[in-house]
A and B are shown apart, each in its own frame.
Chain A
Amino acid sequence: MLFDSMGAKIIPRLASPEVTEPRWANAMASLSHKDLLSIKQLSVEDIILILDTAEALKEVAARPVKKVPTLRGKTVINLFFEPSTRTRSSFELAEKRLSADILNFSPSTSSVSKGETLLDTARNLQSMAPDIIVIRHESAGAPHLLARECRSSIINAGDGMHEHPTQALLDALTIRTVKGRLDGLKLAIVGDISHSRVARSDTILFHKMGSEVRVCGPTTLIPWDFDKLGAKIYGKMEEAIEGADVIMMLRLQHERQNEAFIPSTREYYNFYGLTRERMRLANKDTIVMHPGPMNRGVEIDSDVADASYSVILNQVANGVAARMAVLYLLSGNAGLKLKKHSR
């Protein structure tokens, strides 16, 4: 079973805020994985290691020269088959801050538009000997196909409706920073659950970490057996957000919908939009998150999105740190001794 260890209550360690030494530079800990394909594959210890590493790496962004030589001489390929601004620039910034050499591929500029298969693309890229390939693809499992074929470490930057592991990690980092813990928190994820890879990764991660995960949306947008991933299912938004410590709003994914799941966005807003009125049901210290991009006035009101309890922009900042941590830990795992390469 995937979730054997999930019942265990493990209190994540909170990294000390006064890190003066670049603690991570000497850390020999690494992930016991070649690739990061999903949250499913990670243990609680893995997740804590990534979060702790990310916490330490936040310090780099505070330096006048926002760069460390950790990945100098390493090549990272960003292979984005789906349009992405946020995730892609976040990865790129993380790679640059770690001094990696970067190659960006996207379908419009590559041979994919000429009918090349993903496998051939992967093999061609492989022959350039990259250390890490970051892939976003509209097909679930595309990163797995790459991982089977490539010696490089593969990082899943979102595959279809499957997973978006680095998003879940940055969400966890954001919540842990604000709330000081993950264990025992009540997290409400509201919106289009069916088409959301973020909902899957978040549910699996927070359930593993001992949070109570509530998932809420119209019944047509909640996939079968979602409760078996470790979530409680709610139809009524009011019930889902009552007493929640964190409210995570998801975008209504118009581009993935070729069927009628909801009558109209107006009706959707009436039942599932996060408004100031609904926020009154939440706790005083409840925070609001959104993986972006937001549809203001559809799933979230502007006065909620821009309020003080919104940590949406913290998420973006933490995204860089979380991705730096993953890049760092996976490159260590590839057996590339960090110390030899850094001067």
Chain B
Amino acid sequence: MQLILRQGRIIDPSQQLDKVADLGIDEGRVAEIAQRIRKKGRKEIDARGLLVFPGFIDMHVHLREPGREDSETIETGTNAAARGGYTGIACMPNTQPVNDCEAVTSFILERAREVSKIAVYPVGAITKGSQGKTLAEIGEMYRSGIVAISDDGHPVQDNQVMRRAMEYSRLFGLPVIDHCEDKELAGGGVMHEGYYSTLLGLRGMNPAAEELHVVRDVILAQQTGAQVHIAHLSTRRSLAAVVRARKEDGTSITCEATPHHLLLTDAEVSSYDTNTKINPPLRSQGDVDALVKAAASGDIDAIATDHAPHNINDKMLEFDRAPFGIVGLETAVSLIYDRFVRTGVFTLERFVRLFSTNPARILKLERGTLAKGCWADIMLLDPDLVCEVRSSEFCSRSRNTPFEGWKLRGGPVMTIVKGKVVWSF
């Protein structure tokens, strides 16, 4: 056998598995899970005291290559992901040029084959140049390997265009991932509109800007039958709209939340630290509480980071002039484990569903499971690992995190892709 993980606690919701056992890998695939594997492995790993999960998948990452390699490259971004415990990531199309055609998709995949130790799943643009006017060559990108379409960051404003995109996506069974934001209503805001925007004198973004587009997408999804996924859902009302739609007619609409929307409120902006400037913005305590509850109950399907690297020069500006976004790949797993799993808010099973099972299901990847014969993408987590967030140690080329200095317990110690150890602590 190629590799055997000895006596780790294996948790795989796809087969209702939670037991201490050996896991054998051969030819890059899961060969056997048993109380004791008698065979010898060419390599063996003592996983006693560790948690063994199907590899985590971040379905919302910005890699910045091509175009802004000073902030992140496919190489540095995927290294960061491996260090963060991810075996696969979906990268958003808002590069320069935009991933809106076969050539850019192929470039990303080609580059990933050369430099990435983990899987890269490109997301194609919905419209040409993400300008919201005409459909991008979705079919050709699909043939080249995109796993979803999205105009993340430049959300489609025209409802007719969105309707056509949803209709068209059905041809290929591609999920439509929407960054929900009515730009007019957001009104050039730089933070959540509420008490803190008033106190700080910063232009507020009305939460209805997100909520209206969520409702639009729900209705269009019901009408077109498209598979719609709401990116970085962040308000109580957005959540209610999604939950209601599912109850009403069993629509397949799904949604994700980010670690920062689960952990931070708009009060964090008080320091005018540009690492708290994010879109959608950090919300009120009430929103955060609702999101946490929904993630614990399963109403939120996935946790995705919206990893948005920005060069320090771009972030060291006045708050209203700095770009939106923070990095997340190297902090997400520890943050959620320490703050929600250790504290008993999320079960371990829910944790794995949020990070692995569900992202794989939504993106229709043959991942997120340790079933026999499946690719051996695996993450090992040490529940007692004590770590502190230090951006200077990041593999990412950017350092824009609001979690600097946070002390956490529990974190990834090994990332295995197709049976190969690609990163270890």
- Chain A residues engaging chain B, CB cutoff 8 angstroms: 2, 40, 117-119, 137, 139-142, 144-145, 159-163, 197, 200, 223-226, 228-229, 258-259
On whether the beta carbons of A225 and B194 are closer than 8 Å, the reply is yes
CB pair B202–A119 under 8 Å, yes or no, is no
Using a Cβ–Cβ cut-off of 8 Å, how many residues does chain B contribute to the interface with A?
22
Q: A145-B272, A224-B204, A259-B187 are in contact. Are A140 and B319 (CB under 8 A)?
A: yes
A141 near B198 with CB under 8 A, answer no
Give Cα A40 to B201, complex, Å: 13
| Of the residues B197, B316, B321, contact of A139 by C-beta under 8 Å | B321
How many A-B pairs have beta carbons closer than 8 Å: the answer is 65
A139 to B201, CA, bound (A): 9
Given contacts A119-B317, A141-B318, A225-B194, 8 further A-B contacts (CB under 8 A): A40-B199, A139-B319, A139-B321, A140-B200, A144-B272, A145-B272, A162-B201, A200-B198
Interface pair A140/B320, CB less than 8 Å apart = yes
Residues of A within 8 A of B201 (CB): 140, 159-163, 197, 200
**A140 touching B272 by the CB < 8 A rule?**
yes
**Contact present for B195 and A224 (CB under 8 Å):** yes
Inter-chain CA distance A119–B320, complex, in Å, is: 14
Q: Which of B195, B203, B318 contacts A145 (CB 8 A)?
A: B318
- Known contacts: A139-B318, A140-B272, A141-B319. The answer to whether A160 contacts B195 by CB under 8 A is no
- A117 & B319 in contact (Cβ 8 Å cutoff): no
B382 within 8 A of A: no
**B residues engaging A (CB < 8 A)?**
187-188, 193-195, 197-204, 271-272, 313, 316-321
Question: Which residues of the partner chain B approach A200 to less than 8 Å between Cβ atoms?
Answer: 198-199, 201
Please give, as numbers and ranges, the residues of chain A lying within 8 Å of B313 by CB-CB distance: 117
Taking a contact as CB atoms closer than 8 A, the residue among A119, A163, A225 that contacts B316 in the complex is: A119
A residues within 8 A CB of B199? 2, 40, 200, 229
Supply 25 A–B pairs (Cβ within 8 Å), ascending by A.
Answer: A118-B318, A137-B318, A139-B319, A140-B200, A140-B272, A140-B320, A141-B200, A141-B320, A145-B318, A160-B202, A160-B320, A161-B203, A162-B200, A162-B202, A163-B201, A200-B198, A200-B199, A200-B201, A223-B197, A223-B198, A224-B193, A224-B204, A225-B198, A228-B195, A229-B199
A118, A223, A258, A259 — most chain B CB neighbours (10 Å)? A223
Do A142 and B202 touch (CB < 8 A)? no
CB neighbours (8 Å) of B317 from chain A are 117-119
A197 contacts which chain B residues (CB < 8 A)?
Answer: 201
Report how far A117 CA is from B187 CA in the complex, Å. Answer: 25
| A residues in contact with B204, CB < 8 Å | 223-224
Instruction: Determine whether the beta carbon of B319 is less than 8 Å from that of A224.
Output: no
Task: For A256, give the chain B residue with the smallest CB separation.
Answer: B203
Residues of B within 8 A of A142 (CB): 318
C-alpha spacing A48/B248, complex, angstroms: 61
Chain B residue nearest in CB terms to A161? B201
Q: Name the residue on B nearest A201 (C-beta).
A: B201
Residues of B within 8 A of A259 (CB): 187
A227 to B61, CA, bound (A): 39
**What is the minimal beta-carbon distance from B176 to any residue of chain A, in angstroms?**
30
Closest residue of chain B to A142 (Cβ to Cβ) is: B318
Q: Are A140 and B271 interface neighbours, CB within 8 A?
A: no
Instruction: Give the residues in chain B near A117, CB-CB below 8 Å.
Output: 313, 316-317
Given contacts A140-B272, A160-B201, contact A224 B318 (CB under 8 A): no
Complex interface: chain B residues within 8 A of A139 (CB): 318-321
- Measured in the bound complex, the distance between the Cα atoms of B201 and A197 in whole Å is 7
* B272 partner residues in chain A, CB cutoff 8 A: 140-141, 144-145
Min distance, Cβ A237 to any Cβ of chain B, angstroms: 21
Residues of A within 8 Å of B318, CB to CB, are: 118, 137, 139, 141-142, 145
> In the bound complex, what is the Cα–Cα distance between A40 and B320 (angstroms)?
21
Which are the 4 A-B pairs with shortest beta-carbon distances?
A162-B201, A141-B272, A139-B318, A161-B201
Expressed in whole angstroms, the Cα–Cα distance for A144 and B187 within the complex equals 25
Whether A161 and B202, one on each chain, are in contact in the complex, defined by CB atoms closer than 8 angstroms, is yes
Interface centre among B188, B201, B202, B203 (most CB of A within 10 A): B201
Q: How many Å from the CB of B400 to the closest CB on chain A?
A: 15
